[in-house]
């Protein structure tokens, strides 16, 4: 199997989802005309920290599981109509997973239910509310890996720069594929010198990036922060940089922003070199 090392993060995500690296991402479908002056898609969640969502209504878990069984043909004949009805029932009872699954049916249906606009109406609000699978899907769409142009109004390079934002939302909400892919990609980039050696994902205080080695002063440490965010967030700009002390440790928290005014915070543990001269 070809190596996944140093593939762009969206391609690595695809490897994890498909179970192999040999297949190339599908060619994107023709882009729908972008809406002029379309508003930026901003998540309705805190800009930092883990995203904790309410639990699924207990009555809906079995409905969603049964619906997925009929879609996959897992021990039963495939029946999209039956699956759709079960997802709709779960959604009516307040299940975000039910709404997400309805959206996926509208994206992929071969039985006459394909409706990209309905899919967007279901999936976009879920992503903005921090629902992990919806945010992960938007990251794949923005990266060009999953052709579903109705989900994002922007296209081309403008859309691509939204991908880190939605993957960040997905990771913070606990999406396992997003977390695993990001950790593997960071490992490969560090081993190959694309970003400085160290540990941590930078998603929050608990997982702050910590550089390997000793530094004589902050003049040596701060440039490493900038060398890290460049490859991870190409095209994004630094909006602010804050020095924060928490539980006896010191952190640099960089706020990055793209042209859609979407923001991602990146955390660096600088306890080893804060106050060693050259600022900070």
pLDDT band at 106 (very low <50, low <70, confident <90, very high): very high
pLDDT tens per residue, range 32-52: 333 333 445 899 999 888 999
Q: Contact at 8 Å (CB) between 109 and 80?
A: yes
Name the token pair of 1. 């199997």
pTM of the model: 0.83
Looking at the fold, whether 79 and 157 belong to one and the same domain comes out as yes
The per-residue pLDDT for 263 is 95
**Domain contains 32:** no
Angle between helices 176-191 and 9-18 (to 10 degrees): 130
Q: What is the pLDDT of residue 160?
A: 86
Q: Please, which residues have CB within 8 angstroms of residue 124's CB and are 6 or more apart in sequence?
A: 41, 134, 138, 151
Q: Work out the pLDDT band at 213, boundaries 50, 70, 90.
A: confident
Asked if residue 51 and residue 95 are part of one domain, the reply reads yes
Tell which of 172, 194, 226 closes a domain.
172
Binning the chain into helix, strand and coil, the percentages to the nearest 5 are 45, 10, 45
Q: Are residues 142 and 59 in the same domain?
A: yes
Judge if 180 and 128 occupy the same domain: no
Domain check: are 47 and 165 in the same one? yes
Same domain, 165 and 201: no
26 within some domain:
no
Structure-token pair, residue 202:
């930078």
Higher pLDDT, 100 or 108: 100
Do 141 and 48 belong to one domain? yes
Q: Same structural domain for residues 54 and 160? A: yes
**262 within some domain:** yes
**Is residue 28 situated within a structural domain?**
no
Work out how many domains the chain is built from and give that number.
2
Q: Phi first, then psi: what are they for 71, rounded to 5°?
A: -70, -40
Same domain, 104 and 13: yes
User: For 81-90, 103-112, 114-123, 207-216, which range has the lowest pLDDT when averaged over its residues?
Assistant: 207-216
CA separation, residue 22 to residues 118, 137, 177 (Å): 33, 21, 18
Burial of 112 (C-beta count, 10 Å sphere; 0-12/13-18/19+): exposed
Whether 185 and 158 map to the same domain: the answer is: no
Q: 228 is in which domain, residue-wise?
A: 176-269
Instruction: Tokens 């297949």: give the residue.
Output: 23
Task: Report yes or no on 235 lying in a domain.
Answer: yes
Residue keyed to tokens 């239910």: 113
Q: Judge if 49 and 164 occupy the same domain.
A: yes
**Which pLDDT value is given to residue 275?**
58
Strand segments (E) across the chain? 198-199, 210-211, 237-246, 249-257, 263-269
Mean pLDDT of 197-205: 95
Whether 278 is covered by a domain: the verdict is no
Q: Which of 117, 141, 172 is the last residue of a domain?
A: 172
| Weakest-pLDDT range from 19-33, 50-64, 86-100, 179-193 | 19-33
In a domain, 110, yes or no: yes
Residue 91's pLDDT band (boundaries 50, 70, 90)? very high
Whether residue 62 is found in the same domain as residue 155? yes
Residue 200 pLDDT: 96
Please give the average per-residue pLDDT across 261-272, as a whole number: 94
Q: What is the pLDDT of residue 36?
A: 31
> pLDDT category, 175, cuts 50, 70, 90?
very high
| Listed residues 172, 195, 230: the one ending a domain | 172
Residues 6+ apart with CB under 8 A from 7: 15, 21, 185
Q: To the nearest whole number, what is the mean pLDDT of the chain?
A: 84
Residue-level pLDDT at 33: 33
Q: Is residue 82 part of a domain?
A: yes
- Three-class DSSP category at 188: helix
């Amino acid at each position: 199997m070809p190596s996944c090392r140093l593939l762009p993060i969206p391609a690595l995500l695809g490897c994890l989802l498909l179970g192999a690296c040999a297949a190339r991402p599908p060619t994107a479908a023709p882009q729908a005309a972008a809406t002029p002056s379309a508003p930026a898609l901003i998540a309705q969640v805190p800009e930092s920290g883990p995203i904790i969502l309410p639990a699924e209504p207990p009555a809906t878990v079995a409905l969603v599981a049964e619906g997925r069984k009929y879609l996959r043909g897992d021990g039963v004949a495939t029946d999209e109509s039956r699956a759709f009805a079960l997802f709709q029932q779960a959604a009516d009872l307040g299940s975000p997973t039910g709404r997400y699954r309805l959206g996926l049916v509208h994206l992929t249906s071969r039985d006459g239910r394909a409706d990209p606009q309905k899919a967007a109406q279901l999936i976009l609000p879920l992503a903005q509310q921090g629902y992990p699978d919806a945010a992960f899907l938007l990251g794949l769409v923005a990266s060009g890996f999953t052709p579903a142009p109705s989900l994002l109004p922007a296209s081309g390079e403008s859309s691509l720069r939204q991908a880190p934002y939605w993957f960040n939302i997905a990771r913070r909400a606990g999406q396992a594929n997003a977390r695993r892919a990001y950790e593997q990609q960071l490992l490969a980039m560090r081993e190959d010198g694309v970003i400085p050696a160290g540990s941590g994902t930078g998603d929050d205080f608990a997982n702050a990036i910590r550089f390997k080695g000793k530094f004589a002063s902050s003049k040596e440490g701060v440039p490493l922060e900038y060398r890290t965010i460049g490859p991870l967030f190409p095209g994004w700009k630094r909006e602010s940089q804050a020095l924060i002390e928490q539980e006896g440790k010191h952190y640099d928290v960089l706020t990055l922003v793209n042209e859609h005014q979407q923001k991602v915070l990146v955390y660096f543990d600088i306890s080893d070199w804060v106050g060693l001269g050259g600022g900070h």
